[in-house]
Amino acid sequence: MAKGARASVVLGGGAEGQLPTEVAYAYGRNFGLAFQLLDDIVEYESAIANPRSDTPSITATAPMLYAWEEHPEIGALLARSFELEGDLEIASDYVRRSSGVERTRNLARQYIDEAKNVVQLLPDSDAKMALQVLADHILERTW
């Protein structure tokens, strides 16, 4: 996302090292990280709704990693890649009982706040407003 945002400014006539180009990169980086974290939540919730259909994506997601901090037992489940019957359900229960999803959402919100802050360096315009609205909108992502 960061390089794509920077490239769009360069292709529009901006030069490397100029403020708009660097703002675009920083916005894209923060927006992209927030998007991925929110995607982790969506994937986790999808895997819970459809057990065994999406097991690989749940193993390394932020909600699971945060839950691991609170429930070290998750480490053994991750080490064996949820191979035993019931492993995924046990891990999901640990995540559900942890603050993993909430902490992931809070981290995404921090990245979005940073994306919105960096955009403040640009002059007021419809494009700037659109980037701010897009940043706010991504926090409501459920797809």
d(CA 1, CA 50): 29
Q: Is the dihedral of CA 143, 57, 91, 74 positive or negative?
A: negative
**Closest of 138, 121, 140 to residue 9, by C-alpha:** 121
Rounded to two decimals, the pTM is: 0.86
Q: Which residues, given as ranges, of the chain have pLDDT below 50?
A: 54-57
Domain-embedded: residue 111: yes
Domain-embedded: residue 133: yes
CATH number at residue 23: 1.10.600.10
Domain count across the chain: 1
Per the structure, the complete domain to which residue 127 belongs is given by 2-138
Domain contains 143: no
What local confidence, expressed as pLDDT, does residue 55 receive?
A: 47
Amino acid at 27: Y
So what's the pLDDT on residue 52? 58
